[in-house]
Amino acid sequence: MQLDSSVAIVGFSGSGKTTLAKLLVGFFAPTSGEIKISNIDLSTITTESIRNNITYVPQKPYLFSGTVAENIALGNLQQTSQDKIIWAANVAEISKDIEKWPDKYNTKISIDGTLSGGQQQRIAIARALLSSSKIIIFDEATSNLDVMTEQKVINNILQIPGKTFIFIAHRLKVAQQVKEVFVMQDGKIIEHGSHNALLKKHGQYYNFLYN
């Protein structure tokens, strides 16, 4: 995998998409073969270094009892300005929601379900965008968003230079917006290429879209 790119990993449930994502972030090691990023074998890098350079955003985000700003800045509290927090919220399309809340960015978040699933996911996305990581993996991290909002969020993210974004996608609309698509089946990558190139193959990706 090369840096400064955008990738979607697609496939049916159980095809191995999340397993692959967790291998990339070092949650567990491969039983065979090797994983390289920019020709560097991940097995030669410490777990701490991997986590500093790769941010993983799960489908169900972690939020804590605190303000909206504190939740967005989690892990980056020392060097994160209010302007950066607002920038990240704008990219994640959560800023309009926040501005409607009584205390805006100082609104206290409760973990008892007062926020919708989509709001929680967008706060987690904003947090990830503030990290210094060169690679960000979104594992179904937009699954609770409506199609229009999801498309806006992804379009916004893809405008950010100097990072690689990997989307584990259940909606193939995501795959149409990135540079390269990997199709998984039974734990294996069976196709890869751009959206248009894969359509011309009339393979599994084509079948996902039209069958």
Cβ neighbours, 10 Å, residue 142: 27
Range of the domain at 202: 6-210
Q: Of 127, 134, 131, 184, which is closest to residue 1 (Cα–Cα)? A: 134
CATH (domain of 179): 3.40.50.300
pLDDT at 148 over 60: yes
Structure confidence at residue 75 (pLDDT) = 72
Q: Nearest CA to 194 among 183, 184, 185, 207?
A: 183
The whole-angstrom separation of Cα 181 and Cα 162 is 19
When divided into structural domains, the chain yields a total of 1
User: Tell me, what amino acid is at 181?
Assistant: V
Tell me if 25 is assigned to some domain.
yes
Whole-prediction pTM value? Answer: 0.89
Task: Report how far residue 87's alpha carbon sits from residue 47's, in angstroms, rounded to the nearest whole number.
Answer: 29
Decide if 1 is inside a domain: no
Q: What percent of the chain has pLDDT over 70?
A: 95
Residue 125's contacts (CB-CB under 8 Å, 6 or more residues apart) are 57, 91, 92, 94, 138, 141, 142, 153, 157
Q: Is residue 157 assigned to a domain?
A: yes
pLDDT reported for residue 4: 64
- pLDDT grade for 211, boundaries at 50, 70 and 90: low
* The pLDDT of residue 172 is above 90: no
What is the predicted pLDDT for the residue at 48? 80
- Average the pLDDT over 3-23 and give the result: 85
pLDDT score at 124: 95
Burial bucket for residue 11 (CB in 10 Å: 0-12, 13-18, 19+):
buried
83 pLDDT above the threshold of 90 = yes
Residue 30: its pLDDT value, please? 79
Q: What is the pLDDT of residues 40-79, one digit of tens each?
A: 888 888 888 887 888 999 988 888 888 999 999 987 656 7
E runs forming strands in the chain: 6-10, 36-37, 40-41, 54-57, 66-67, 108-109, 135-139, 164-168, 180-185, 188-193
pLDDT of residue 155: 94
For the chain, the farthest-separated pair of C-alpha atoms sits apart, in whole angstroms, at 53
- State the Cα–Cα distance between residues 17 and 13, nearest whole angstrom: 8
Q: What is the pLDDT of residue 195?
A: 92
Residue whose C-alpha is closest to residue 168's, from 14, 4, 2, 3 = 14
Q: pLDDT-derived band of residue 11, with 50, 70 and 90 as boundaries?
A: confident
Q: Report d(CA 122, CA 85) in Å as an integer.
A: 13
Tokens 């990219």 locate to: 91
> Is 56 contained in some domain?
yes
Do the domain assignments include residue 165? yes
Residue 12 has pLDDT above 90, yes or no: no
- pLDDT on residue 3: 56
Taking 80 as the threshold, does the pLDDT of residue 191 lie above it? yes
- On the question of pLDDT at 1 being above 80, the answer is no
Residues 6+ apart with CB under 8 A from 118: 144, 145, 146, 149
